[in-house]
Structure 1
Amino acid sequence: MSHGMFPADSSIALTALTALTGVFAVSGLYGLWRVASGRGRGIETVVDVNHVLMSPAMLLMLWLPSAPSVTWVQIAVFSGLALVFFRHLSSSHGVTARTGALLHGGMNLGMVWMLAVGMTGMVGMSDMAGMDHGGGQTWTGLLSWSVVGLLVLSAAWWFGRMVRECGHRMLCCCHGLATGGMAAMLALMTPAL
């Protein structure tokens, strides 16, 4: 028996499952709190809603196999959100705002990639529940590790900003945790090259 992407009999896998569950639950609840309290304005609200939608999607991927129809809906939603963030680049002022929009767009594309490889089994997904796909083509492995690297750099940027900017520590921590969690999860999903 397995839970989502991890076999249930591995203590390391269960530790990773527990840690990632905590990361995505915290980031989703923080986004939900921000939406409910009206903390964000404009694009900040989109960022908060993005966390509210992405966190349960990540938890679903961790714990349960998804039907292809559910995965396609998620791919459409997160692709659309990526476009919103990339579109916001042109109206963003300053390096920090543009970098934030770029990183959120990239995080959504990373989510789209994770959903696609999870659904198709392109990158050694045979351990995921309900998936017994062959293959692990070299190009998909290289692309997945490239996405992992970009997500790690993104998380490092958010944590660096958290240290530098007193007024945004919780928000930057949330972004860093979510992005770092995505990087860890994709790394666990991707076989070594």
Structure 2
Amino acid sequence: MSHGMLPAGPSVALTVVFAVSGLYCLWRVASGRGRGIETVVDVNHILMSPAMLLMLWLPPAPGITWVQIALFSGLALVFFRHLSTSDGVTARTGALLHGGMNLGMVWMLAVGLTGMSGMASMSGMDHMAGMDHGGAQQTWTGLLSWSVAGLLLLSAAWWLARALRSRSHRILCCCHALATGGMAAMLALMVPAL
């Protein structure tokens, strides 16, 4: 097992996925490839990649996790705000999917934190009135996690389809597909540990 919630094998594979997407976006920023919201997208990936790696390899630290939750929630709002100023269905869909990806990240951080600590304390209430609060919360968290993983997978499929249709942004769309697909896989693998 890795120090995080997943076995070492999937953790190594996902490390490659998130490192590649983060380094590609770092290269884009360093070379001045993006402009405006594209730069925000690149910075978002640059910040998200090490956050995913921390989640993969280290137990959650509540202080750091709450800072990350605030950061990615704020970036999600930036993308949702960009929806109103985007031109065309493709640009709006891209903004929506990046906002959704950030909310998916917020969910993963939250369940990673509660999966390691909060659920154990909830299970301590099982004796109250003969109710299984911990089991109910675990089921609810699992169902929502599978739903978020499914939405992330659909997002990855959309980016991959766009990569196949686009000539000018093929590598960038593949990067987005890789990152969201990796998130979907990681969340799906996390669910049994919650």
Runs of 5+ in structure 1 lacking a partner? 7-12
Q: What's the counterpart of residue 163 of structure 1?
A: 164
- Deviation of residue 189 (structure 1)? 0.6
CA deviation map 1:147-168 (0-9, x unaligned): 0110000000000000010111
Within-5 A mapping of 1:165-184: 165-184=166-185
Structure 1 residue 91 and structure 2 residue 92: aligned? no
- Paired letter, 1:4: G
Identity percentage over the alignment? 82
Q: TM-score, normalised by structure 1?
A: 0.88
1:141: which partner in 2? 142
User: Counterpart amino acid of 1:139?
Assistant: W
Name the residue aligned to 2:53.
59
Alignment pair present for 1:20 and 2:21: no
What is the aligned-residue RMSD (CA, Å)?
1.7
Residue correspondence of structure 1 range 40-55 to structure 2 within 5 A: 40-55=34-49
Q: Distance in 2 between matches of 1:73 and 1:66?
A: 12
1:2 is displaced (CA, Å) by 3.7
CA distance in 2, matches of 1:15, 1:144: 21
Q: Counterpart of 1:108 in structure 2: which amino acid?
A: N
Q: List per-residue Cα deviations over 1:30-69 (Å, max 9, x = no partner).
A: 1100111111100000000000000000000001113100
Structure number having the greater helix percentage: 2
* Matched letter for residue 165 of structure 1: S
| Runs ≥4 residues deviating over 6 A | none
- Structure 1 residues 56-111: Cα deviation after superposition (integer angstroms, max 9, x where no partner): 00000001113100000000000000000000000000000000000000000000
Structure 2 CA distance, aligned partners of 1:3 and 1:25?
Answer: 18
The one-letter code matched in structure 2 to 1:186 is L
Residue 103 of structure 1 corresponds to: 97
Q: Which has the larger radius of gyration?
A: 2
1:5 maps to amino acid: M
Deviations 1:8-48 (A, max 9, x none): xxxxx322111100000000001100111111100000000
Measured after TM superposition, the shift of residue 132 of structure 1 is 7.9
Q: Is the 8 A contact 2:72 2:103 kept in 1?
A: yes
Question: Does residue 1:38 correspond to 2:32, yes or no?
Answer: yes
2:70 aligned with 1:70: no
Aligned residue identity for 1:80? G
When the two structures are aligned, how many residues end up with a matched partner? Answer: 179
TM-score, reference length from structure 2: 0.88
CA distance in 1, matches of 2:12, 2:171: 22
State the alpha-carbon separation in 1 of the partners of residues 10 and 60 from structure 2.
20
